[in-house]
Amino acid sequence: AQTVTQSQPEMSVQEAETVTLSCTYDTSENNYYLFWYKQPPSRQMILVIRQEAYKQQNATENRFSVNFQKAAKSFSLKISDSQLGDTAMYFCAFSLRGGSEKLVFGKGTKLTVNP
Amino acid sequence: DTAVSQTPKYLVTQMGNDKSIKCEQNLGHDTMYWYKQDSKKFLKIMFSYNNKELIINETVPNRFSPKSPDKAHLNLHINSLELGDSAVYFCASSPGKTYQETQYFGPGTRLLVL
């Protein structure tokens, strides 16, 4: 069974600064995907970024980037130039490759961006 | 042009009642899912359907019964509601094809059982 661990229940950062959220996972499989989802107070689950395990290059989406270390089973999210709208719960999630696999979530990190 | 929609958004009901939550997606996806988010914000899979067939059923009490009339709809019926069923229920969908694993979520349904 796969597990996902987010060791930081809460974090805070000043506006315009950079913050890194940690995520580790455990699996014996080789083909899988990793995701970061954002859940603002509106409750909507929003995909931030995804990483295919077979790709060595780290994924980036504008101010969001990941540090994917497959051997260490680590998948951290870096948010640059933090904005007030980044305040949200952030969930790391794992999915096997296959098309209809479930997402396994970590417990989330509550990020607060301070003005 | 909402991609994944759920109704209702809020549901307040008494213990012992039966209720349903509906989900629809207009993305043309083959797979749909139900997740439960508890009071501590933990998200866990409940069910998934691919082209109207049940493919995941994760140790959920049989008071919960999903139904998929077609691949664009996945409803969740809950019998004999209990206090512990209070949670946010999310519907999601994905293309259901290898290399297209991203899931897209609905807005969630907050269920409160009194």
pLDDT in tens, A56-87: 899 999 999 999 999 999 999 999 999 999 99
Using the predicted structure, report yes or no on whether residue B1 has a pLDDT greater than 70.
no
Q: Which helix (H) or strand (E) holds A4?
A: strand A3-5
Confidence of residue B96 (pLDDT cuts 50, 70, 90): confident
Measure A111 CA to nearest chain B CA, in Å.
14
Residue B36, judged by CB atoms within 10 A of its CB (0-12, 13-18, 19+), counts as: buried
Helices and strands: H and E segment counts in chain A: 0, 12
The rounded Cα B41 to chain-centroid distance in angstroms is 16
Of residues B43, B48, B100, nearest to A91 (C-beta): B43
* A74-103 average pLDDT score: 94
Look at strands B19-25 and B4-7 and give their pairing: antiparallel
Q: Which of A100, A103, A109, A110 to mutate against chain B (most B CBs within 10 Å)?
A: A100
Distance between CA atoms of B90 and B105, rounded to whole angstroms? Answer: 7
Token match 């661990």: residue? A5
